[in-house]
Amino acid sequence: QAVSSNKGFDWTEPAPSELPDPGAKSQLMRIKPDGPLAIVFNDHTHHSLMVKGREVKLPEKCRTQLSLAVSDTEGKSWKRVGVLKGGTAIALRYHAPYMLQVGCKLLV
């Protein structure tokens, strides 16, 4: 996490976030007009899954569990709202999620 106080011209040194990072893109936005920050990201916390009765290990940086979280603390802490698209099936991956606010709805 890095913070800018001048609309993105300068940034603080990045610091770790409590959110997992599987190496996939995420999107962060402020819910308008003056709401919390929202982030859509891959919450990869499963390291294996069962396939035909056998445990199969997933890559460490797997892109699964497309999730939404919100922050009322400018990103210092996050509350997971839910999993938008779950599953850890072999070859099932979610890349480059995108959010758009339309009125009072948040489209992902």
Closest C-alpha among 67, 94, 65, 78 to residue 37: 78
Round the average pLDDT of the chain to a whole number and report it. 82
2 vs 28: CA distance, rounded Å: 12
Whether the per-residue pLDDT at 94 is higher than 80: the answer is no
- Residues 14/2, Cβ–Cβ less than 8 Å: yes
Percent of the chain with pLDDT over 90: 26
Domain residue spans of the chain: 27-103
* pLDDT tens readout for residues 22-68: 677 888 999 988 899 999 988 766 666 667 888 777 766 666 778 89
Percent of the chain with pLDDT over 70: 78
